[in-house]
Amino acid sequence: MKQSLHIPSLKTAHILKDTDLSRQEILSLYQLTNELRRQFMKDRQRSLSLLEGRTLGMIFEKNSTRTRVSFQVGMYQLGGNAIHLTTNDIQLGRGESMEDTARVLSRYLDAIMIRSNSQEKVDVLAANSQVPVINGLTDIYHPCQALTDYYTVAEHLGPRARVGYIGDAANNVAISLAYSGAILGYDLVFISPQEYSLPEVHKKEVVKLMQVSGGTFTETDNAAKGVLGCQVLYTDVWVSMGMEKEAELRKKKLEPFSLTSILLQKAETHPYIMHCLPAKWGEEIQPELQDYDRNLIYEQAENRMHVQKAILVSMMLG
């Protein structure tokens, strides 16, 4: 099976942020994703044995459902193993340095995935690791999520579409969606109140990337105007982990940016809807949309496993 697969050879040693991958590398990962997913659909119980004898270490400083399960099951389907490590399981929780953690774990493992409160910690881990490090989420980036989301969009709309992101555009998911969308050449519309717009430092880089890819980036604080013409509308929670003290203020400011059936009608395109989950139904997205006929939320969640399998195979074998 390995011989018949097109396994990309990535230039980067690690995937720490979206810009670590070029457009061509992302498209090659999508091609491998298609091949791995076809095999999965053909025989769900069969391990491909591509990563037999290899082990992924998964470090979690933050709770996880989709990241943990998709990486762990993905490794199992590829014939490998995955070890779940919280800071209570290893000495990071007692003050061991990230440098020493990287130097030791990379002597045991074939790759490390980390879900952390700090991008800086992940960068330090990678700088001291002998094996590939994959960012499973930090305070700034969520590259595996964004890569999966555009894979899902491309399946339904092809390589070019108008994607609207509505709500808190200053969080890690929005930032990664902006970068990956810019690399791939999508037309992005970010719809949010000004105080929760895409941070200026990222906006400048996104615009530069768009000049190369041919995509476009616009933003507005007018929800009805912003959704017009969007083929996809994407939202995320208003109150992320660690923001609980700001909850009431955020809900008040973001309430006009809730994804509703009425707002979908204003798009005039019968758009697909997406959400990275977990969702607060009744806040950023309304409950009636769970049964909406163009709901891609659960499909994109499933695709996390398939895209990440392609990442794992490419980083360990490519």
Residues classed as catalytic:
115, 142, 145, 236, 276, 304
First to last CA, the chain: 15
Alpha carbons within 13 A on the beta-carbon side of 262? 5
Tell me the residue type at 200.
E
Q: Where do we find the tokens 């700088």? A: 127
Asked if 168 and 195 count as a contact pair (C-beta separation under 8 A), the reply is no
Q: Give the C-alpha distances (Å, rounded to integers) separating 263 from 68, 219, 238.
A: 33, 17, 18
Task: Provide the 8-state DSSP code for 139.
Answer: S
Counting runs of H as helices and runs of E as strands, what totals does the chain give?
11, 9
Q: Which residues, in sequence order, are bridge partners of residue 295?
A: 273
Cross-strand partners of 103: none
* Beta pairing class for 133-137 and 55-60: unpaired
Q: Which amino acid is at 214?
A: G
Structure tokens at 298: 């659960």
* 145, amino acid identity: Q
Instruction: Using DSSP, state whether 246 is helix, strand or coil.
Output: helix
